[in-house]
Amino acid sequence: MSMKEMKTRVRARLGKKALTLTLNSRKE
């Protein structure tokens, strides 16, 4: 696995986490 792939994977995971955080904050 190349560095580019790792960075993309990490970014996708962080993006998902950020998305859930924003959704949770909107509910409250």
The residue written with tokens 């790792």 in the block is 6
For residue 1, give the 3-state DSSP assignment: coil
Residue pLDDT tens, the chain, 28 long: 799 999 999 999 999 999 999 988 887 6
CA pair distance 20, 28, nearest whole angstrom: 13
pLDDT, position 5: 97
CA pair distance 25, 1, nearest whole angstrom: 35
Q: What is the DSSP letter of 28?
A: -
H or E segment at 2? none
Would the pTM count as exceeding 0.85?
A: no
